[in-house]
Amino acid sequence: MPAKGQMKKETKKQVKRALKKPTSHKKQILQSPKGMHDILPGGMLVREKLYKSVKAIFEFYGFNRIETPILEMEELFTKTVGENTDIVEKEMYAIKGRGGQRLVMRPEMTASIVRSYLEHGLHRQSQPQYLYYIGPAFRHENPQAGRYRQFWQVGAEIIGGEGDPVYDAQIILIFYKLLEELKVKNITVGINSIGGAVDRQNYKKKLLEHYKDHTKEICKNCVRRMKTNPLRMLDCKNKVCRGVIEEAPIILDNLSTPSKTHFKGVLEFLDEANIPYILRPRLVRGLDYYNKTVFEIFTGEGEDSQLALVAGGRYDYLAETLGKRSTAGVGAAMGVERVLEVLEEQNPAFGTVRSKKSIYFAHVGQLAKLKSLPLLEKLRQANLPIISNLGKKSLSNQLESASKTDATLALIFGQKEVYEDNIIIRDMKTGSQETVSLEKIVKAVKKKLK
């Protein structure tokens, strides 16, 4: 049995522990998932400005907007993008639905657009179809500058008709003009042809022959790609592989006559349209559905410092992989976040969106509050940009809100104004104010907003 004094000592410790206040832990605020970000109102204004330019230019060139679901059947991308691509192997967000159905969050948009084109009979309408889109896509890759797990794309596709090289040139032209309109500097079109299926098969044999002699000089990814996707070895960014890439055979030297003729046609149309370009004989795309023309539009000087803003190419057999006959198609997509980051550096004025002139409606007292709704409706029917917060009670709080929203004018409506059938107009910049009858309020406000 413990001694009496020891019992007292232990009891005191227990009391102290019981009375001790729990350590305060700051509640952690839940954050958006890694690589995905919120777009706040200020950011939305800048994006809407960008989308306005997209809409104006694309529709001027005859493109019609289309939207497809964010979720698609997994099979759509394994069939079209390619089972051995990085996107399918490790970057797709998959969702297992009821009945074992596997859905994915779209990692790119072209396959979805072609699926929609076939599903809804657009191939039975006049050809080709000129389609454009604005929307998010998702890839589980390492987030870095200009590269996110949820990212927005602006894209354009010309689907159907003949595989005429003029359509390749048109797609390049429209994105070049868009970047010019946005005042992006140092724009360069890098272009190549990867030929047809037979061309690529013959070229892959030569490429593998070259790489077999250098397996100890290349990275692990390229060793793996020798078996799965040899063309992607040319796109490797690892410095270890650079020397081997530079010595590799060039696909342009291995094109069939029809592929050469097509590529020559694309370049001639670009020349006629005064679109400057450089040949990039080692340019390939990371998606299996491309054939013939592939291209990227860069900004920056010097190949090592160039950043791709737009990428695309021709895909004449994508529809065939979805069970239909081969259908000519060519398109491209622009990374919205990348373009905005470039504009922030090159053209800061683009991110400065002029705030629209607005009017803050302030009420004083319950009677004025009661009469405010029909008055606000009258002002809005006159197309006046009204901001209000009828939940606030004090005039000072409401005028403080007016200042925070950069309102041009404040309308002050109190019990006295209700009885006298008028309202006070205050200039938020100068502080001057005048009383106007409710009959003349619309005319008076419009005059002051000019």
| CA distances for 223 relative to 230, 280, 335, 358, angstroms | 9, 23, 30, 62
Flag whether 109 is marked binding: yes
187-193 and 129-138 as β-strands: parallel, antiparallel, unpaired?
Answer: unpaired
- Given the DSSP bridges, would you call strands 409-414 and 386-388 parallel, antiparallel or unpaired? unpaired
Write down the CATH superfamily of domain 41-196+256-350. Answer: Bira Bifunctional Protein; Domain 2 (3.30.930.10)
pLDDT number for residue 4: 47
Instruction: State the helix-helix crossing angle for 441-449 and 366-381, rounded to 10 degrees.
Output: 70
Question: What are the backbone dihedrals phi and psi of residue 360, each rounded to the nearest 5 degrees, phi first?
Answer: -100, 125
Contact predicate 132/154, CB 8 Å: yes
Whether residue 341 is annotated as binding a ligand: the answer is no
Please say whether the beta carbons of 157 and 113 come within 8 A. Answer: yes
Q: Which fold has domain 359-449?
A: Rossmann fold (3.40.50)
With contact defined as beta carbons under 8 Å apart, do 424 and 412 qualify?
Answer: yes
Dist. CA 390–CA 369, nearest whole Å: 7
The pLDDT value recorded for residue 133 is: 98
Tell me the CA distances in angstroms from 69 to 72, 103, 105, 108, 357, one per residue in order. 7, 11, 9, 12, 37
Q: 290 a known binding residue? A: yes
Inter-residue contact 334 to 154 (CB < 8 Å): yes
Sequence-separated (6 or more) residues with CB below 8 Å from residue 97: 103
Of 169, 159, 174, 160, the C-alpha closest to 59 is 174
Are the C-beta atoms of residues 222 and 248 closer than 8 Å to each other?
A: no
Per-residue pLDDT of the chain (450 residues; tens, 9 = 90+): 445 454 444 445 544 454 454 555 567 889 999 999 999 988 999 999 999 999 999 999 999 999 999 999 999 998 888 776 777 877 899 998 778 889 999 999 999 999 999 999 999 999 999 999 999 999 998 887 778 999 999 999 999 988 999 999 999 999 999 999 999 999 999 999 999 999 999 999 999 989 888 888 899 888 888 888 888 888 888 888 988 988 999 999 999 999 999 999 999 999 999 999 999 999 988 778 999 999 999 998 766 668 999 999 999 999 999 988 889 999 999 999 999 999 999 988 888 766 678 899 999 999 999 999 999 999 999 999 899 988 877 899 999 999 988 899 999 999 999 999 999 999 999 999 999 999 999 999 999 988
> What is the C-alpha to C-alpha distance for residues 113 and 154, in angstroms, rounded to an integer?
13
Nearest Cα neighbor of 387 from 427, 356, 365, 418 is 356
| 43 contact partners, CB below 8 Å, separation of at least 6 | none
Integer Cα distance of 47 and 333 in angstroms: 16
For residues 214-248, one letter each, b for 16 or more C-beta atoms within 10 angstroms of the residue's C-beta and e for the rest, the string is eeeebbeebeebbeebbbbbbbbeeeebeebbeeb
Q: Is 108 annotated as a binding residue?
A: yes
Q: Is 53 exposed, middle or buried (0-12, 13-18, 19+ CB in 10 A)?
A: middle
> What is the signed CA dihedral for 312, 316, 320, 322, rounded to 10 degrees?
20
Q: Are 92 and 140 in contact (CB under 8 A)?
A: yes
> Residue ranges per domain, the chain?
41-196+256-350, 359-449
- Euclidean distance between CA atoms 387 and 376, whole angstroms: 9
DSSP 325: -
Q: What is the pLDDT of residue 6?
A: 47
Q: Is 153 annotated as a binding residue?
A: yes
- Provide the token pair at 93: 């967000």
